Amino acid sequence: MSVAFADNLPTPPSPSKETSQKTSSPHPLLPLNDGKFHLLLAASGSVASIKIPLIVEKLYRIYEPSRISIQIVVTSSAERFLPAADKPLPAAIKVWRDSDEWKHWSDRSDPIVHIELRRWAHLLLVAPLSANTLAKIAGGLCDNLLTSIVRAWNPAVPILLAPAMNTYMYTNPVTKRHFRIIAEEMEWIEVLKPVEKVLACGDIGMGGMREWSDIVEIVAARFKPNSFPRKNEMPAVDSSGLTHEKVRHQPVTADLTGHIRFEDELEAESSASESGMFKESHTAG
């Protein structure tokens, strides 16, 4: 998916100081261009959330910390399971919760967390994906940090979903409908089929989250570890020391078009509008 711009379009004016003050600033914890693979790892309400530390540990073994940056998003339900994990998360990894969305926001120029996390990520991996969060994604609901990120997602960037739910939840006709909506209308989202196993509740059947090590291997196959860090390009840096989405590095193995900040989208729309007006005027003359 890409957007082509004609070479002869007029150059849009730079945002005025007044306009700049009305747009949100980048988040200081989310540098857009550090040359690393940016993985946004999310968990929703399933006991499989206890696998998050194992996923992180294996990703660090494959990529090494110099090649990957991981941010974690948890729903309030997923957070309940984390203390039951076999090992803690590395202290250096930021875990984003619903409360972080508004914790430091008081003015329109303050960072909007769900937007900045979207801008930062090269990939969103939701593992585990609960039946409830699946329903929210399929229905477009965005009542927490995770679902707000998904709803505001850039379709040029991939999302991987790893469902984890009770067998009868998984085989429910409503669940089938939700997967169909995602498959037909959200082409940037890929669902990693669950497996048949003895579930935590004791039932036996389909619905268990795909083996966590297999999920990591899928990520590593899509985003080759030897592609990072990207040191051959010198990014343009703004006054805050951060690089805007439209000029940040992209993984060489991923079909991504690059990210743009909202003010750049407005400029592009303005350019297209002015071009259309020019063509109409030229034709009429």
The tens digit of pLDDT for each residue in 150-179 reads 999 999 999 999 999 999 899 999 999 999
Peptide bond connecting 251 to the previous residue in cis, omega within 30 degrees of 0: no
What's the average model confidence in pLDDT over 26-53? 93
CA distance 285 to 279: 10
Is 184 a domain residue? yes
What residue spans of the chain are helical by DSSP H?
Answer: 17-20, 52-63, 76-81, 100-103, 113-120, 131-139, 145-151, 167-170, 173-185, 212-222, 262-284
Structural domain of 123: 17-284
Task: Note the pLDDT of residue 281.
Answer: 39
Task: Note the pLDDT of residue 245.
Answer: 53
* Nearest of 152, 13, 15, 125 to residue 71 by alpha carbon: 125
CB-based contact 136:105 (threshold 8 Å): no
Is 47 a domain residue? yes
Is 82 a domain residue? yes
The tens digit of pLDDT for each residue in 69-82 reads 999 999 999 999 99
Query: Which neighbouring-strand residues pair with 126?
Result: 42, 161
CATH code for the domain in which residue 24 is found = 3.40.50.1950
* Counted domains in the chain: 1
Is 2 a domain residue? no
Is 74 a domain residue? yes
Is 101 a domain residue? yes
pTM: 0.75
Q: Catalytic residue numbers?
A: 201
The tens digit of pLDDT for each residue in 89-120 reads 999 999 999 999 988 788 887 889 999 999 99
Is 175 a domain residue? yes
Is 7 a domain residue? no
